[in-house]
Amino acid sequence: MSRNESGQAVIEYVLLISIIASAFVIVGRGLVDMGLAQKLTRPLREEFARTYQYGHPKGKGFEDGGPDHHPRAMTGGTNGRMFLNPRDQ
């Protein structure tokens, strides 16, 4: 019993590729809607940048609302300069 099955493999591959592509689109759209890229890059944009700029992960400058945890602002509170320990002479 011989049936005409020519092209069946090609159609199966096309269907499989379309299912995989639609899964990628659904997952990609879900990640964009959840804002996962912004959540993953938040430490780089905020905490590491403030640590590099001000020397403290919670540091703020005058243009950021204020100085807070700022090593060069001498306004009191949580601000103050960083000094090394004095050497014994």
Tokens of 46: 């905020």
* pLDDT of amino acid 89: 45
Length of the chain counted residue by residue: 89
pTM, 2 dp: 0.44
Instruction: Dump pLDDT digits (tens) for 53-76.
Output: 777 777 777 777 777 776 766 666
* Cα pseudo-dihedral 18, 23, 26, 32, rounded to 10: -120
Q: Residue 58: count other Cβ atoms within 10 Å of its Cβ.
A: 11
